[in-house]
Amino acid sequence: METVEPVETHGENPVRMWIRPFPPVEPDSEGAVLAVDHLSADPGERMVGVLLGRGHEAGGEGVFLLLPTDLTARYRRTGDRLSVTLLAARSVLAADLAGRTDGLRDHLDTLPADALDPDRVALLHREAVTGFVPAASPGGDGRQPVLLVDHTGGTPGPGDLTALFEEGGASVAVVAAEFPDDGVPG
């Protein structure tokens, strides 16, 4: 397994993205794994948690598949850095946040618009120094999906993520991903 050096980005905790196999889902294949905390101080990360409620169980108990119309991931490579940005349609978020009383809806207008699709917003951005290149999907229209480990509180390490999932303290969401051509802003 490759050693990945996290990169500080926008004040986020850098130890929240790993390139590794996730045995309950992909036992033999490395992939991008992001931890998503429902109690995060970051409103974008908490909004990802809200969207995870849209998941459809797939691949086993506690593993959910999100439709690309609900949440997508975008890979970008800059030199030796690989970044993952989670994106969602502003209209989908507005609908899911409409009845909430926790003030999370107030943050929707502060999220940056996606450079490639102004109807989407960027919820979360993580980077790591790595040589990992996500594999193309079988149809060639996307890239290897991103796995989100959905948990509540704390800062789990990569080994803790699998244990949290196996003990029922976390679920995993599979998010469709794209890798735009070089030179495209995003």
Per-residue pLDDT reduced to its tens digit, 153-173: 877 777 777 777 778 777 888
Mean pLDDT estimate for the chain: 80
Which one, of 168, 155, 146, 159, lies nearest residue 66 by Cα? 146
Q: What number is the average pLDDT over the span 2-21?
A: 53
pLDDT at 30: 85
Window from 47-51, 113-117, 133-137 with minimum mean pLDDT: 133-137
pLDDT at 182: 44
Question: Please, which pLDDT band fits residue 150 given cuts at 50, 70 and 90?
Answer: confident
What is the helix (H) or strand (E) element at residue 81, kind and residue range? strand 81-89
pLDDT at 15: 55
Task: Give the CA distances from residue 79 to residues 33, 86, 128, 130, 155, in Å, rounded to whole numbers and listed in that order.
Answer: 20, 20, 11, 9, 28
Per-residue pLDDT reduced to its tens digit, 19-54: 877 665 566 778 898 889 988 999 999 999 999 888
Residue 120 has pLDDT above 50, yes or no: yes
Task: Give the CA distances from residue 144 to residues 13, 61, 171, in Å, rounded to whole numbers and listed in that order.
Answer: 24, 21, 19
